[in-house]
């Protein structure tokens, strides 16, 4: 089997960050004048295409895909209506531009995949795990910390904006746990960026200490030697713990309906 290097780009993570940089010089009182919107969109498309070129040049992938969120609210909102509450919505003129951006990426031979009811994160996790289980290499391009929980010998995460790989050493330094313990860590502390609640009074340092001692959240919940006050907190919040963990967990079993060969890149991008 020829070696595969699949690059999965968290499309809106890339586009929205690039858009914010392009929009900034034109903002007046936090608003964008109508006559400058087209200019900002044009600049955004140019910058996104340049970013894609740089990613392909650096990664030399054999396969590549831009992965987009579902247009409809994803399943997490049904479970928890406050999910991502207060998060700034994508400007409508940028949302309207997405099909043109997808066409521009296609001119660079990179197709786009949009989920029906999942987030891009779930699609990326499904694809990454599927390919990694076959012993093939996957690089996720995103600044979203959720992908760090997927890190292993075959899956790496690259932060395009800071030009660095977010590896196991990075996870250890930033969170003081292993990548496999991150979902448990965030279940305890909550995830403020997505408005997912944690256990009140359990911060990152405490959560990391507990997970390093007990190994996992399940082991912690059944431990008999923890302080009574903590035991009570965990016991009274058991339903919330289960909900938070479900919201944080990336789905890895979405039916994809296409093969790797459908997203193979022309040979000039590949190191092969």
Neighbours of 183 (CB within 10 A): 19
d(CA 26, CA 33): 8
d(CA 49, CA 52): 5
**Is position 121 annotated in a ligand binding site?**
yes
| DSSP conformational letter for 191 | B
**Is position 58 annotated in a ligand binding site?**
no
Q: Which three-class secondary structure state does DSSP give residue 65?
A: strand
Tokens representing 48 are 């996104």
Tokens representing 185 are 């860590």
- Burial of 259 (C-beta count, 10 Å sphere; 0-12/13-18/19+): exposed
Q: Strands of 111-114's sheet, edge to edge? A: 111-114, 63-68, 5-10, 137-141, 155-159, 164-165
**Is position 202 annotated in a ligand binding site?**
yes
**Is position 159 annotated in a ligand binding site?**
no
Q: Which residues are annotated as a binding site for K(+)?
A: 188, 197, 199, 202
Q: Which residues are annotated as a binding site for Mg(2+)?
A: 121
Q: Which residues are annotated as a binding site?
A: 121, 188, 197, 199, 202
């Amino acid at each position: 089997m020829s070696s595969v290097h699949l690059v999965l780009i968290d499309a809106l993570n890339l586009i929205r960050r690039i858009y914010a940089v392009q929009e900034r010089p034109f903002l007046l009182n936090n608003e964008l004048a109508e006559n400058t919107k087209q200019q900002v969109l044009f600049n955004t498309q140019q910058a996104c295409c340049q970013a894609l070129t740089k990613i392909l040049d650096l990664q030399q992938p054999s396969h590549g895909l831009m992965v987009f969120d579902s247009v409809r609210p994803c399943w997490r909102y049904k479970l928890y209506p406050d999910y991502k509450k207060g998060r700034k919505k994508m400007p409508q003129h940028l949302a309207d531009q997405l099909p043109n951006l997808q066409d521009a990426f296609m001119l660079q031979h990179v197709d786009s995949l949009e989920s029906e009811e999942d987030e891009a994160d779930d699609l990326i996790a499904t694809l990454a795990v599927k390919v990694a289980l076959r012993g093939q290499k996957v690089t996720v391009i995103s600044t979203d910390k959720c992908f760090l929980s997927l890190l292993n010998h075959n899956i790496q995460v690259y932060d395009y904006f800071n030009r660095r790989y977010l590896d196991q050493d990075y996870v250890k330094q930033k969170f003081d746990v292993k990548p496999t313990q991150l979902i448990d860590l965030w279940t305890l502390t909550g995830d403020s960026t997505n408005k997912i609640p944690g256990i009140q009074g359990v911060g990152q340092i405490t959560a990391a200490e507990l997970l390093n001692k007990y190994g996992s959240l399940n082991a912690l919940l059944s431990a008999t030697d923890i302080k009574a006050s903590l035991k009570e907190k965990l016991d009274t919040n058991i339903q919330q713990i289960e909900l938070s963990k479900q919201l944080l967990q990336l789905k890895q079993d979405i039916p994809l309906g296409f093969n790797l060969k459908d997203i193979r890149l022309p040979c000039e991008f590949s190191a092969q």
